Copies of this chain bind each other. A is one copy, B any other.
């Protein structure tokens, strides 16, 4: 049974009202505050229907209704209108971003994260560009002093990653060059996540007599490959605590300990990678138990058509979806343009 126009109106109004006030919405309130053109009794009947259909629920008998997750889902899919940002808002966002002046990736990401959380008033999550999605272009090793050097890794998407390493004593510049040249020959053009451990082992065999320097160079490669390169930046972790659903200390602790575990956050965001435009996960739609009282709005950003990172906003299930979606979308577009 599809929702008739009146039910849609009421569901819409309940969501809107509840998002603003965080309290169950009663029929009288609705009749008073929204000019729906029918009485509270009618609304009561419709609400009872909506509850039976699973779009609304009652915290307890004789309280108002709040949207169920199904209700929010319907709202997000069919009822809400994502506003285009006004010019004015765009200017404000750009001011918060100030990306033009940024050079270093880390700085950009941190700024995006901060901006997202401050404008939405929820917690933001940003995954820095993932090298694994790019292809190997070139590696160099630059000696600094007798003992140390810098390994530089360049990808086809134009990212540069570098790392200070210890150089083995007995290696002269020529030998160093040989090693580096060999590595470049073997690796050039490979997607970074194609550089498997078995390939690395093979290379190690070939170069066993230069093994030391190789080990160091490998460290950088492995780091690029490893999960913890997928660094996550959080912004406004305390923002979400202002929401009334988190006035309970136990809930706060559970959520904060989630924030401390990068790997969990990655898994939370990862499903969003490679997916469509903007992705909304409501409550239990999140696989992660710790986030099932929350909703997550994510979008990915790209370089040269390849998705290389994700930004997102985490708030309570009772979230300002339309507003957040508009903002997340905008930020992702800005990042696309930037890289």
Where the two chains meet, the residues of A that have a C-beta atom closer than 8 Å to any C-beta of B are: 103-104, 140, 142, 144-145, 148, 150, 152, 154, 160, 162-166, 219, 236-238, 241-242, 247-249, 252-253, 256-257, 260
Known: A148-B160, A238-B260. A103 touches B165 (CB 8 A): yes
Complex CA gap A106/B260 in Å reads 17
Complex CA gap A24/B60 in Å reads 40
Complex CA gap A152/B241 in Å reads 42
Question: For the complex formed by this chain, how many copies does it contain in all?
Answer: 2
Asked if B145 and A142 sit within 8 Å, CB to CB, the answer is no
A260 proximity list for chain B (CB < 8 A):
236-238
Asked if A252 and B257 sit within 8 Å, CB to CB, the answer is no
Asked if A144 and B150 sit within 8 Å, CB to CB, the answer is no
Complex CA gap A165/B248 in Å reads 47
Greatest chain B CB density within 10 A among A219, A247, A252 is at: A252
Excluding A148-B160, A248-B249, 5 further A-B contacts by CB distance (< 8 Å) are A103-B219, A144-B152, A237-B256, A241-B256, A249-B252
A145 proximity list for chain B (CB < 8 A):
154
Tell me whether chain A's interface is mostly helix, strand or loop, or mixed.
mixed
Asked if A150 and B148 sit within 8 Å, CB to CB, the answer is no
Known: A150-B152, A256-B238. A103 touches B249 (CB 8 A): no
Q: Considering only CB atoms, which chain B residue lies closest to A235 in the complex?
A: B260
Known: A154-B144, A238-B256, A241-B256. A104 touches B164 (CB 8 A): yes
15 contacts between A and B (CB under 8 A): A103-B165, A142-B142, A142-B150, A150-B150, A150-B152, A150-B160, A150-B162, A237-B256, A238-B253, A238-B256, A241-B252, A241-B253, A248-B249, A252-B252, A256-B256
A166 proximity list for chain B (CB < 8 A):
103
A248 proximity list for chain B (CB < 8 A):
249
Contact pick for A164, options B140, B160, B253, CB 8 Å:
B160
Q: Considering only CB atoms, which chain B residue lies closest to A241 in the complex?
A: B253
A142 proximity list for chain B (CB < 8 A):
142, 150
A237 proximity list for chain B (CB < 8 A):
256, 260
Asked if A249 and B241 sit within 8 Å, CB to CB, the answer is yes
Complex CA gap A279/B9 in Å reads 63
Complex CA gap A238/B103 in Å reads 33
Q: For the complex of A and B, list the 4 residue pairs with the smallest distance between their C-beta atoms, beginning with the closest.
A: A238-B256, A238-B257, A160-B164, A247-B249
A164 proximity list for chain B (CB < 8 A):
103-104, 160, 162
Complex CA gap A148/B247 in Å reads 50
